[in-house]
Amino acid sequence: MPTQLRAFLLVGGIAALGLVGGAKIGQVAMAQGADPYQEIDTLAQALHHIESQYIEPIKTGELIFGAIEGMTEVLDKHSVFLDPDELESAQIRTEGVYSGVGIELKNIGGQITIFRVVPGSPADGKIERGETLVAVNGKTVPDLSAASEALRGEEGQTIALTLNGHERTRTVNLTRARIRDQTVRVSPLSNGWALAEISRFQRNTASDFNRGLRKHKPTQGVIIDLRGNGGGLLEEAVGVVNLFADAGLIVRTRGRDDTVLEEHYAQAPAPWKSLKLLLLVDGHSASASEIVAGSLRTLHNARLVGTETYGKWSVQRMYVFESKSAIKLTIAKYEIADEKASEMGKGLTPDSVVDRPNAHTIAIQALRKHLAGDDAALAHVDTLATAQSTSHSNPILLPLPERLTSDPQLKAAWTLALDNH
């Protein structure tokens, strides 16, 4: 039997919750025959001087939060401090239950854009993907933070959203409701195929995916879109793989001193084992997405289409304090059986590399064509291209039938699906 330590580990999102007490830390340190915390006296002295001498009064809690945040800055970039508001938002992303209207926003081209509408939410059927949010209750929302704050509130309250899109401006009144977010949208395609878009791995992602497949009953295969999916709960990623694979290592995590913390193996029954799989990935596909993509490539002969994934081969755990703040701490690295999986810091290379040109790429291609023969000018264009090489393309927010022909990566996957029908 595989070892399965049932801690809720986070791979790109929320994980296990725990309390860390200062007294306990001190006991452990003294038991080891040393006191590595003697420098805390320095911290206490700094705190005293700031509280007593700084030109303006400042709350002790703010200083403590700042000190913890400073400690995490010497760790890896995935280990961070979360204040109470940030922790609450993180828990909502993990559990997927909140009071709201059911829209997910992204900054696309400097505009607050409706990126996703939660099925069954107050916004479902009333707000369209791709519209831009201009104001809430008549007050302009200049950025994502302001928009999120304006949309947040008590269940049962009605709010007015001013939207731009489709050559019109309109106002929609929606009443906040208790929402269980669904991060999986399964849509039927022709020829026995389906498209499953997974935005992140939160509680119930695997069961929602399974439910969507049962509803549409694909007979040939599934295109799983993991582009832009930064990760989430490890156990949900394992659950998704288990829908298709019934044997083999899915993921192993190793902590300090290379100690194995968890091992997860695919187990029968795999209800959709007979389906072919194509997975769309990009530079924002990270952590849990990489586990799913790499494991299904090895265990189910899935084919990856798109661009290289993010390369985040680490696991975080959340430790919550009595103040309702927390630290998200990297506690392990993970391994998958995919022989094509790279070392830490490098992502998975797709089997079919297909770029999705962004505005910069399109402009550079046009410039190269216009400046053909002018070597000096083309050299400047090459410099510009290099500077923009890390820029990711905006998501394509068209209806599915149009995306099948206008989204280069989805089009490539759909062509492969038809070729393998």
3-state secondary structure 318-349: EEECCCCCEEEEEEEEEECCCCCCCCCCCCCC
- pLDDT of 8 reads 39
Mean pLDDT over residues 244-258, rounded?
95
pLDDT reading at 85 higher than 90: no
Mean pLDDT for 362-386 is 68
105: left (phi over 0), alpha (psi -120 to 50) or beta: beta
The pTM of the full predicted model, rounded to 2 decimals, is 0.78
When pLDDT is cut at 50, 70 and 90, the band that residue 397 belongs to is: confident
What pLDDT, on a 0 to 100 scale, did the predictor assign at position 373?
73
Report which of 102, 97, 98, 105 is spatially closest to residue 121, judged by C-alpha positions: 102
Q: What is the pLDDT of residue 41?
A: 86
pLDDT of amino acid 2: 46
- pLDDT at residue 9 greater than cutoff 60: no
Predicted pLDDT at 230: 92
Residue 391: what pLDDT? 42
**pLDDT of amino acid 21:** 43
Give me the chain's average pLDDT, please.
85
The alpha carbon of 398 is separated from its chain's Cα centroid by a whole number of angstroms, namely 21
**Tokens, residue 263:** 């091992």
Domains of the chain, start order: 10-91 (no CATH), 98-180 (2.30.42.10), 184-316+334-355 (3.90.226.10)
pLDDT of residue 173 exceeding 90, the answer is yes
Q: pLDDT tens digits for 255-277?
A: 999 999 999 999 999 999 999 99
At 409, give phi and psi (nearest 5°). -75, -45
The per-residue pLDDT for range 322-348, each reduced to its tens digit, is: 999 999 999 999 999 876 665 666 899
Beta bridge partners of 286: none
Q: In this model, does residue 4 exceed pLDDT 50?
A: no
Q: What's the confidence (pLDDT) of residue 148?
A: 85
pLDDT for 18: 35
Q: Could you give the 3-state DSSP secondary structure of residue 57?
A: coil
Which of the four pLDDT bands, split at 50, 70 and 90, describes residue 395?
low
- pLDDT at residue 204 greater than cutoff 80: yes
Task: Average the pLDDT over each of 14-28, 63-77, 91-105, 201-215 and give the range with the smallest value.
Answer: 14-28
* Percent of the chain predicted with pLDDT > 70: 82
Are 74 and 81 in contact, with CB atoms under 8 Å apart? no
Q: How confident is the model at residue 166 (pLDDT cuts 50, 70, 90)?
A: confident
Who's near 52: CB < 8 A, 6+ residues apart? none
**DSSP string of 99-126?**
EE--EEEEEETTEEEEEEE-TTSTTTTT
Q: How far does Cα 260 stand from its chain's mean position?
A: 25
Higher pLDDT, 150 or 344: 150
Query: Looking at the predicted structure, is the pLDDT value of residue 33 above 90?
Result: no
Q: How confident is the model over 351-368, as pLDDT tens digits?
A: 999 987 655 566 666 677
pLDDT band at 219 (very low <50, low <70, confident <90, very high): very high
Closest CA to 196 of 231, 216, 224, 238: 224
The least confident of 92-106, 174-188, 255-269 is: 92-106
Q: Confidence class of residue 165 from pLDDT cuts 50, 70 and 90?
A: confident
Q: Is 90 exceeded by the pLDDT of residue 208? A: yes
